[in-house]
A and B are shown apart, each in its own frame.
Chain A
Amino acid sequence: DAGVTQSPTHLIKTRGQQVTLRCSPISGHKSVSWYQQVLGQGPQFIFQYYEKEERGRGNFPDRFSARQFPNYSSELNVNALLLGDSALYLCASSLEGWNEQYFGPGTRLTVT
């Protein structure tokens, strides 16, 4: 079975722009979570979706939004990019919201 996939792999954006990151969960997994990993730090929780509904939100500004589609794939949107948004964005899927999470390879976002 394919693992969690994310696209694109790398992305370079300019301050003030908007970005959309995509994630496809493991087949059969209904929950998707998004994390931000800044260099030298552990991942920080951004959002969790389960059955297309937001189930949790971390301490991130409203510039960050996400959604989950009927096929359980998900998008993370970030508006008005700041230099500090430069990070590795990780998507994780789990069978239900409370099982162990399996991570994708991440999208490396660089904001210049």
Chain B
Amino acid sequence: AQSVAQPEDQVNVAEGNPLTVKCTYSVSGNPYLFWYVQYPNRGLQFLLKYITGDNLVKGSYGFEAEFNKSQTSFHLKKPSALVSDSALYFCAVRDILNYGGSQGNLIFGKGTKLSVKP
């Protein structure tokens, strides 16, 4: 079965410091990986995706993610955190095994709460 794991329930960072939110995956074949952010009482916002190519993917709001095949990881990073980055972050993998029809639905991790303090 395909899955993603986010090992940290919460990450605390001081404003201006670099941040990393961790994600590991387990898939059959090539992974299609995504990061989404969720602000309180809001839906999910797409940040970035990895399909193929460069291992360093750049996304919205200054975020980037590093794909590491040998470690089966897809960690989200930002060089300098802002207080406004405080939110819930979800890693997701596309369910390419669901050949019953959909190749587009996503399997999400449980989320990591990022808290950036001034």
Which A residues are within 8 Å of any B CB, using their own CB? 4, 6, 31, 33, 35, 40-45, 48, 50, 54-58, 90, 92, 94, 96-106, 108
Contacts and interface: CB of A to CB of B under 8 A. Distances in A.
Interface in B67-108: 90, 92, 94-95, 98, 100-108
Contacts of A31: 104
A104 B43 contact: yes
Given A42-B108, A42-B109, A97 B103 contact: yes
10 contacts: A35-B106, A40-B110, A41-B111, A42-B108, A42-B111, A48-B102, A55-B101, A100-B34, A100-B46, A105-B42
Given A42-B110, A45-B107, A97 B43 contact: no
Interface in B51-66: none
Given A4-B43, A90-B44, A97 B104 contact: yes
- Main secondary structure, interface of A, reads strand
Nearest to B36: A103
B42 A56 contact: no
Nearest to A33: B105
B49 interface: yes
A56 B109 contact: no
A102 B46 contact: yes
Contacts of B26: none
Contacts of B42: 105-106
Given A45-B95, A56-B98, A105-B42, 14 more contacts: A33-B104, A42-B92, A45-B105, A45-B106, A45-B107, A48-B101, A48-B105, A55-B104, A56-B101, A96-B104, A97-B102, A103-B43, A103-B45, A105-B43
B104 A99 contact: yes
Contacts of B92: 42
A100 B103 CA distance: 11
A48 B99 CA distance: 12
Contact of B106 (A54, A55, A101): A101
B49 A100 contact: yes
Contacts of A99: 104
